[in-house]
Amino acid sequence: MKERLSVKLRAVVLVLASIFLVTSALAWQIQTIETGRLRGHYCSIAVDDSSRPHISYNDGWETSLKYATWTGSQWLITEVDNDGRVGKWTSIALDGSGHPHISYRETDGSNLKYARWTGSQWETSRIDSSPGVGYYTSIATDDSGRPHIAYHALTGRNLKYAFFTGSDWVVETVDSPGSVGLYSSLALQFGMTPYISHMEGSPLFNVKLAWQNGGGWEFERVDTLGELGWFTSIAIGSDGYPQIAYHGTDNEMRVARWNGSSWAIETIDVTAEVGGQTSIAVDSYGYAHVTYHDGNQDALKHTYWNGSAWNTELVDDAGTGTGYYNSLAIDKDNNLHIAYDGTQYDDSVYLYSELKYAKRGPTTGVEMELAGKRFSYRLFQNSPNPFSQWTKVRFHLARPGAASIKIYDIAGRQ
């Protein structure tokens, strides 16, 4: 059963129970955090339990690792590490106390470095000093607050993994030989088991997945249809199923979703000329959201699954290289947070770049009170963004039965 609703309305569906639905008309709220030489490159974002963003990024020409967080009234910017040329390929995660942990590359010496906030100060350390390590770092913290890091070793072209036991770092090679571990991305299933997506390079160019099983690792080629897999990004929802975003063969945007028995692979934006980083996150409904740079429009874009189809919108098209570096996080209320660079060119001549931040509310807001009836209910996001004149609601009863649908405006008038 479907009903088309004006987006100005608040819809209430009654089926021997009460279902309250409120459409969200929030547009993207965009801020510039810092402007300068190569600001915002290699950015990564995480959001705490108070929905406040924490961002790591490189401060121009690899001179330092920087960190920005929103205090509730202003941006607080800190230089975390300026010891040599550091700060490429940053990745940030928060522990249960909301303290940030950052992995990144030290160019001088080719080391994998790690920084953490203790609650009173920043501490930095070198985790792996093997030749050519620290590319494409990706960090996550487990339920005990311990960091796990995936990264690529250029020397040997291996996929590597480091984790903290509570007293020591353990470093291991996950996948080799051959050109593996490129554009690696790490997520923890159920807060513990590491899953790593990465590109298997020349001559294959496949999307590959590695995951820990007991004391060892298992592997699977996820997508082998063409030369693809640049800038993989992985997320795992509450169902434990991985979803991976990456560049397709013709620079289109693809997502591979595990459904419990096989991979469902879809091209989610065929019009884009995808370049640079991609980032995927899963909301509380299990729906994937993907951010990426579209070279055809010089814009940062957001594509998301609404339960039946993929929807695409522009986030920011101000500039000539906006969003080449980008990172997406979703908070507990399904608000979307994006850190990205706003790079400006004039006839291919570099001018400056900015660290930028965009936030918007969830695509839908649903609250339910159930009284024994089995049913499903979905509000579809309006398109184009922010809202068209109409939206639609899909409603389904598990068994045939009577249903009464009533619509009220914001003043409570039927």
Torsion sign across C-alpha atoms 218, 223, 226, 230? negative
Residues 285 and 400 in one domain: no
| pTM of full prediction above 0.85 | no
In a domain, 179, yes or no: yes
Torsion sign across C-alpha atoms 47, 49, 51, 53? negative
Rounded Cα–Cα distance for residues 338 and 326 (Å): 7
pLDDT, tens only, 235-286: 999 999 999 999 999 999 999 999 999 999 999 999 999 999 999 999 999 9
In a domain, 64, yes or no: yes
Structural domains in the chain (count): 2
pLDDT for position 395: 56
Residues 334 and 233 in one domain: yes
Say which CATH number the domain at 325 has: 2.120.10.10
In a domain, 223, yes or no: yes
Residue at token pair 């389904």 = 396
Residues 103 and 187 in one domain: yes
In a domain, 372, yes or no: no
Cβ-contact 119, 98 below 8 angstroms: no
Residues 143 and 8 in one domain: no
Rounded Cα–Cα distance for residues 30 and 222 (Å): 35
Residues 384 and 298 in one domain: no
Rounded Cα–Cα distance for residues 308 and 331 (Å): 23
Residues 232 and 354 in one domain: yes
Report the alpha-carbon angle 84-46-158, nearest 5.
Answer: 55
The range of the structural domain enclosing residue 87 comes to 29-363
Residues 37 and 15 in one domain: no
Residues 354 and 404 in one domain: no
Tell me phi and psi for residue 297, to 5 degrees.
-115, 0
In a domain, 279, yes or no: yes
Residues 193 and 295 in one domain: yes
* Tens digit of pLDDT at every position of the chain (414 positions): 333 333 333 333 322 233 333 333 468 999 999 998 888 999 999 999 999 999 999 987 778 999 999 999 999 999 999 998 999 999 999 999 999 999 999 998 899 999 999 999 999 999 999 999 999 999 999 999 999 999 999 999 999 999 999 999 999 999 998 899 999 999 999 999 999 999 998 888 999 999 999 889 999 999 999 889 999 999 999 999 999 999 999 999 999 999 999 999 999 999 999 999 999 999 999 999 999 999 999 999 999 999 999 999 999 998 888 999 999 999 999 999 999 999 888 777 878 899 999 999 986 543 333 344 444 444 554 444 444 445 556 555 545 555 666 554 433 444
pLDDT for position 17: 30
Residues 263 and 393 in one domain: no
pLDDT for position 350: 79
pLDDT for position 135: 98
Residues 169 and 268 in one domain: yes
Residues 227 and 335 in one domain: yes
pLDDT for position 400: 57
pLDDT for position 202: 84
pLDDT for position 178: 82
In a domain, 370, yes or no: no
In a domain, 53, yes or no: yes
pLDDT for position 367: 38
